[in-house]
Amino acid sequence: MGVLNRLARGLLALWLLGTAAVPPAGADMRLKDLARVGGWRELELVGYGLVTGLRGTGDKAGTNPSAQSLANLLNRLGLSLSPQELSSENVAAVIVTARASAYARPGSNLDARVSSIGNATSLENGTLLLTPLRGTDGQVYATAQGALASDAEPGAKKSNASRSTTVVVPGGVMLEKALASPAAGSDGKLSVVLNTPDYVTAERAAQALRDAFHTKTRALDAAQIEVEIPRDYLEDPVGFAARAELVSVGADERPRVVLNETTGTVVSGREVKLSAVTISHAGLKIEVGSASPAGGTEGDVPTLVSLLNRVGARPKDVVTIFKMIKRLGALKADLVIM
């Protein structure tokens, strides 16, 4: 129970830290903190590869993907072997993923996420062999290789297979081919795409841009704003985009509660409210707010986290409870599961 209480106290501390970092709804923010000016987006990359040096924690003998891939690799290196002749458990077949900015250039380094697709029990301390990474168009844009680092949260048990079979290669991706980046001012217009679609914020951003540059600006929908580039900036669309990013906008973002499904970490904005609820789960019973015929009183996220702290709720219980409250409609915020 002492360990559980410490975990729950950690959750409360993280909530308090999160409230200090999340601006309240309606706060003035730079447009660049709310949107992607220029409409750029990141490109998802994926590839199939091999991890070696796993000290017996790789795919078990007879696992076709890794055995066949290792045989193919050795054949290309001049050593003729069949998959049936390979019985090493030091190798694992993996899927490698990465995310590249549209403005990344050849030679840029990115982080790679490596996940086992066989029956390996751990990828830690292994080495990813050179792996080509492809975009959605099937073309190779990058390569990945290098030593693997654990992707588990600090303090997590290393024996947990769900964590040790997904690891990262910090800076292990090398971009080999330039991506098709959007022009800053295509057709004399600048596209602005909100990170979180919201009609109120979109209209406020459009008005702020109109006021700042006295140019035709309109919100196309809850996410996209179209700005005509002023005549003075037609020859310098990048400069205009830079100035547009600094325009102050009164954001009206929805409140959020963010949960890490593995650790149970809770991060919330200020004053996220809950309808009055009674929670019974895994032997726990918690009441937040109070209900009455004349209208109940609301609770809030910090109160719930404090109560979970007192009863020693486990991280997985915290996640389950918040999911059920959201499904019930009692959580007055967006719930983001990581």
Domains of the chain and any CATH numbers: 2-24+254-337 (no CATH), 28-40+182-250 (3.90.76.10), 45-175 (no CATH)
Burial 231-244 (b: 16+ CB within 10 A, else e): eebeeebeebbeeb
Quote the CA–CA distance of 322 and 338 in Å, as a whole number: 13
pLDDT band at 146, cuts 50/70/90?
very high
The residue among 162, 46, 170, 38 whose CA lies nearest residue 96 is 46
Rg over alpha carbons for the chain, rounded to the nearest Å, is: 25
Quote the CA–CA distance of 334 and 337 in Å, as a whole number: 10
Grouping H, G, I as helix, E, B as strand and the rest as coil, residue 215 is coil
| More confident position, 182 or 100 | 100
Mean pLDDT of the chain: 76
Quote the CA–CA distance of 221 and 134 in Å, as a whole number: 32
Task: Supply the pTM of this predicted model.
Answer: 0.56
DSSP 94-123: EEEEEEEETT--TT-EEEEEEEE-SS-S--
Residue 7 reports pLDDT greater than 60: no
For the stretch 241-292, pLDDT in tens is 889 999 998 876 677 778 777 777 777 765 677 777 777 777 777 776 665 4
Contacts for 125-128: CB closer than 8 Å, 24+ residues apart: 125/53, 125/54, 125/55, 126/51, 126/52, 126/53, 126/54, 126/58, 126/92, 126/167, 127/51, 127/52, 127/53, 128/49, 128/50, 128/51, 128/94, 128/96, 128/169, 128/172
**What pLDDT score was predicted for residue 142?**
93
DSSP 290-314: B--TT-PBPEEHHHHHHHHHHHT--
Quote the CA–CA distance of 68 and 307 in Å, as a whole number: 53
Report yes or no: 210 and 53 within 8 Å, Cβ to Cβ: no
Determine which helix (DSSP H) or strand (DSSP E) holds 8, and give its type and residue range.
helix 2-21
The proportion of the chain whose per-residue pLDDT surpasses 70, expressed as a percent, equals 71
For the stretch 70-118, pLDDT in tens is 667 666 766 665 555 555 678 888 899 999 887 778 888 989 999 988 8
Quote the CA–CA distance of 91 and 58 in Å, as a whole number: 5
Residue 162 reports pLDDT greater than 50: no
Quote the CA–CA distance of 148 and 112 in Å, as a whole number: 9
| More confident position, 329 or 9 | 329
Mean pLDDT is highest, among 16-25, 56-65, 71-80, 272-281, for 272-281
Lowest mean pLDDT among 50-64, 154-168, 188-202, 223-237: 154-168
